[in-house]
């Protein structure tokens, strides 16, 4: 098209040198109508350009408003993300404090030997504080999810499935927090994909606007080239008319005829009484006179027409430059928003990973707390078992003491019977006295053992059994002695016969005297 425009002025210049007004010129009203008809396409193209510029300005205003809304939504989401990060940091600190208190409680529990520590109430308070922080974090996560929903519904026409969950209990707080964090992560991914689609759509709109601007600039250049060609032909016609002689009306009609022919040659497609192939050279003999006043009027008409066309072209160029500037601003804003959206998506993914790590830590801490509580419960049960065992031992000791008392009573009766038997025996008086002293010593030892039964209940049983064994041996010996007295046969009370030794009677008596301190020491 530019080549055609470059060729047309050359052809026009070659014809303009020999152009002169044709013969048989129309009347002035018809000429005015022809000029109006020639300017109507220019005016229509100008109106179309203005309408397109207005539409482009409205689209740019809408895009700017959408960009502002998107930037505000991103700012709100960033603020909520920062607040969520602060809450998560506080939760992490509280969890670390809870872990430290748990370890300290375990250490105190071990140091106290299984007793319940005094920091158990503090541990419970820390648990309640952690649950409260988790509830606040859950509220912030739900608010961020609602913000993402609003962004998604603002960007796209379709809507997501929105449902309100019932308020969870304190035991399921961590599970609900985990599920909400996963939902926020999925929603963030969906919003990111939707933002990418929205950016692609805006990029396509931008390309369409650029193409429309290029088409408008091309049309503007075409119109300006046509107007330049008309001006050139007008100057050539004025030069040719300056040589003519005639009235001003004839000169004006000749000028309009030349303009009509030029517009027909440029392709506007309307005819004014002649064929499009006619040239001004065919009727050049009809105009032979002109005046200076008519020439000045024609020049004023041409200058006014050129000035109006120039003003229109300047206005169009100014509008095109403004549109280009606004398009560049929109591009810069769009790039900035793309960078912000990418950063926000990265931060959202990082925060989701951080939430998962904190959830894992919280689960580990809750497991530690549960383990500590189980250990405390086991320790309490162990203490209760030990207490019951001690009570049973005390009861068993009391029953053993009563049994020992009953045995001692029996022994006392036996001793009384032996004393009566020893009194009746004259030959074994000293032996009976020794047996009585040993019995008295055993009785005293038994009484002292009764006084010490609370502190030495375990060893008392063995000692009492040893004492009863010795007493039984003594009783057997006394019975044997009684039987030997009846048979008038003397026997030694110590078991020398069982060992195959028959010592004299004096040595057996000395042995009896030596055994008494040994029994006293045994009883002590």
Q: Where are the domains of the chain?
A: 41-268+285-382, 425-523
What's the confidence (pLDDT) of residue 265? 56
Q: Is 492 helix (H, G, I), strand (E, B) or coil?
A: coil
Q: What is the average pLDDT across 140-155?
A: 72
Cβ(258)–Cβ(237) under 8 Å?
A: yes
How far apart CA 181 and CA 71 sit, in angstroms, is: 24
Residue length of the chain:
524
Please name the residue ranges forming H helices in 425-504: 429-451, 457-486, 496-499
Q: Which residues contact 466 (CB under 8 A, 6 or more apart)?
A: 522
pLDDT in tens, 97-106: 665 665 565 5
SS3 40: helix
pLDDT at res. 316: 72
Query: Which residues does 263 contact at the CB level (< 8 Å), separation at least 6?
Result: 38, 230, 270
Q: What is the residue-averaged pLDDT of the chain?
A: 66
Which region among 282-296, 297-311, 319-333 has the lowest average model confidence (pLDDT)? 282-296
Phi first, then psi: give them for residue 330, nearest 5 degrees: -65, -40
Mean pLDDT of the 252-279 span: 50
Is the predicted pLDDT of residue 144 greater than 70, yes or no? yes
Q: In the prediction, which pLDDT does 115 show?
A: 46
Where is mean pLDDT largest: 177-181, 306-310, 359-363?
Answer: 359-363
Three-state DSSP at 28 gives helix
Residue 465 confidence class, pLDDT cut points 50, 70, 90: confident
What's the Cα-to-Cα distance from 490 to each of 417, 436, 480, 486, 498, rounded to whole Å?
Answer: 21, 20, 10, 10, 16
Could you give the CA distance from residue 366 to residue 465 in angstroms, rounded to a whole number? 57
- Compute CA 376 distance to the chain's CA centroid, rounded to the nearest angstrom: 35
Residue 464, token pair as written in the block: 């009492």
Over residues 480-493, the pLDDT tens digits come to 888 777 665 444 45
Could you tell me the CA-to-CA distances from 206 to 168, 212, 342, 428, 476 in Å, in that order?
48, 10, 20, 138, 126
Residue 146: which of 77, 74, 70 has the closest Cα? 77
How much of the chain, in percent, has pLDDT values that exceed 70? Answer: 47
Q: pLDDT at residue 405 above 80?
A: yes
Stretch among 139-148, 174-183, 260-269 having the lowest mean pLDDT: 260-269
3-state class (DSSP) for residue 72: helix
**35 has pLDDT over 70:** no
Collapsing DSSP to helix, strand or coil, 491 comes out as: coil
pTM of the model: 0.28
Residues 248-265 have a mean pLDDT of 60
Whether the pLDDT of residue 267 is over 80: the answer is: no
Tell me, what's the pLDDT at 446? Answer: 74
């Amino acid at each position: 098209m530019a080549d055609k425009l470059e060729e047309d002025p050359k052809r026009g210049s070659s014809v303009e040198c020999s152009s002169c007004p044709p013969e048989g010129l129309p009347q002035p009203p018809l000429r005015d109508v022809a000029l109006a008809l020639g300017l109507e396409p220019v005016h229509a193209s100008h109106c179309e350009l203005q309408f397109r510029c207005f539409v482009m300005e409205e689209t740019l205003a809408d895009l700017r408003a959408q960009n502002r809304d998107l930037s505000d939504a991103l700012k709100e989401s960033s603020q909520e993300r920062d607040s969520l990060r602060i809450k998560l940091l506080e939760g992490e600190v509280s969890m670390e404090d809870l872990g430290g208190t748990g370890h300290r409680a375990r250490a105190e529990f071990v140091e106290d030997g299984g007793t319940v520590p005094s920091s158990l109430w503090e541990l419970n308070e820390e648990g309640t504080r952690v649950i409260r922080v988790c509830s606040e974090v859950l509220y912030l996560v739900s608010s961020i999810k609602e913000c993402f929903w609003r962004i998604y519904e603002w960007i796209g026409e379709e809507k997501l499935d929105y449902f309100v969950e019932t308020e969870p209990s304190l035991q399921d707080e961590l599970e609900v927090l985990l599920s909400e964090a996963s939902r926020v992560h999925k929603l963030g991914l969906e919003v990111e994909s939707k933002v990418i689609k929205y950016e692609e759509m805006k990029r396509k709109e931008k390309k369409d606007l650029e193409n429309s601007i290029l088409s408008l600039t091309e049309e503007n250049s075409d119109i300006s080239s046509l107007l330049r060609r008309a001006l050139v032909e007008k100057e050539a016609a004025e030069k040719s008319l300056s040589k003519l002689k005639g009235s001003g009306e004839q000169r004006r009609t000749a000028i309009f005829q030349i303009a009509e022919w030029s517009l027909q040659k440029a392709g506007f497609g309307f005819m004014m009484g002649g064929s499009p192939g006619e040239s001004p050279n065919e009727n050049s003999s009809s105009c032979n006179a002109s005046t200076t006043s008519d020439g000045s009027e024609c020049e004023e008409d041409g200058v006014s027409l050129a000035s109006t066309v120039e003003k229109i072209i300047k206005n169009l160029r100014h509008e095109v430059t403004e549109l280009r500037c606004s398009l560049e601003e929109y591009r810069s804003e769009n790039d900035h928003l793309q960078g912000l959206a990418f950063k926000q998506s990265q931060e959202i993914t990082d925060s989701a990973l951080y939430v998962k790590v904190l959830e894992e830590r919280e689960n580990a801490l809750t497991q530690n707390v549960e383990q500590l509580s189980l250990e405390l419960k086991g320790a309490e049960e162990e203490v209760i078992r030990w207490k019951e065992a001690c009570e049973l031992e005390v009861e068993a000791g009391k029953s053993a003491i009563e049994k020992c008392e009953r045995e001692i009573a029996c022994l006392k009766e036996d001793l009384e019977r032996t004393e009566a038997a020893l009194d009746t025996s004259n030959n074994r008086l000293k032996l009976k006295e020794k047996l009585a002293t040993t019995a008295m010593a055993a009785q005293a030892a038994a009484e002292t053992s009764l006084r010490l039964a609370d502190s030495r209940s375990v060893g008392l049983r063995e000692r009492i059994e040893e004492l009863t064994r010795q007493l039984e041996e003594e009783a057997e010996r006394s019975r044997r002695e009684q039987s030997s007295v009846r048979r008038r046969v003397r026997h030694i009370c110590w078991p020398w016969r069982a060992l195959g030794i028959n010592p004299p009677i004096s040595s057996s008596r000395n042995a009896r005297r030596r055994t008494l301190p040994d029994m006293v020491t045994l009883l002590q």
